[in-house]
Amino acid sequence: MQISSKVQIVSEKIIRTLSGLLASRSVATPLRVCSIGCGTGELDRVWLSKLQDQFPDFTVEYVGVDIDDTVCKAAEDNVGSLDFVTSKIYCQDIQEGLVDEVVKFDFFLSISSFYFIKTPDKVLDMCRKLTSPEGKTMSIYDNVHCKILLWVISPCNIDAHGVVKMHVT
């Protein structure tokens, strides 16, 4: 499959963001990922596969959330067919929260989806509550001037009112 330069860059940024965490933990503990607005999961499939190339012993517990039921089935197929991944897709509005998820996540990822969410502070607050102490929230989106903007948001930088201090890397 031909991988576009955007997907390539996004994958490299994600792997760089997660590599410290993976290097310092036991492979017995799966990496817990939540993809907000996962779409068809095609992009997630690419970066997850690249992550596995570099960290072959790790397994991933993937939760995808998307409001559009036409893409959820494709996400189940695209991500669920990876043999190192166990997946669950919620076809719902992320603003309703993840009521069935009690185990914390290592990584919340939003690729081109925060743009559509009416209450981003509420969603970020949910991320903060459901992120493991060493976990990260990352939002990636396009910008007409810089081709890709990447925000890595440390959950501890989100205050009680949902105001976020962001690091651009």
Ligand X SMILES: C[S@@+](CC[C@H](N)C(=O)[O-])C[C@H]1O[C@@H](n2cnc3c(N)ncnc32)[C@H](O)[C@@H]1O
Binding site for ligand X (CB under 6 A): 37-39, 43, 65-68, 71, 93-95, 111-113, 116-117
Exposure pattern of 37-74 as b/e (b: 16+ CB <10 Å)? Answer: bbbbbbbbbbbbebbbeebeebbbbbbbbbbeeebbeb
Quick one: tokens of 67? 């409001």
Bridge partners of residue 62, in order along the sequence? 33, 87
Distance CA 97, CA 130 (A): 10
Q: Kindly state the smallest distance separating residue 24's Cβ from ligand X, in Å.
A: 27
Neighbours of 167 (CB within 10 A): 10
Q: Which is nearer to ligand X, 42 or 61 (CB)?
A: 42
Quick one: tokens of 76? 């189940």
Q: Kindly state the smallest distance separating residue 138's Cβ from ligand X, in Å.
A: 12
Q: Kindly state the smallest distance separating residue 52's Cβ from ligand X, in Å.
A: 19
Q: Which is nearer to ligand X, 3 or 156 (CB)?
A: 3
Q: Kindly state the smallest distance separating residue 87's Cβ from ligand X, in Å.
A: 15
End-to-end Cα spacing for the chain? 28
Quick one: tokens of 55? 């960290």
Q: Which is nearer to ligand X, 112 or 132 (CB)?
A: 112
Q: Kindly state the smallest distance separating residue 66's Cβ from ligand X, in Å.
A: 5
Tell me which residue has tokens 């069935």: 100
Q: Which is nearer to ligand X, 72 or 158 (CB)?
A: 72
Q: Which is nearer to ligand X, 66 or 106 (CB)?
A: 66
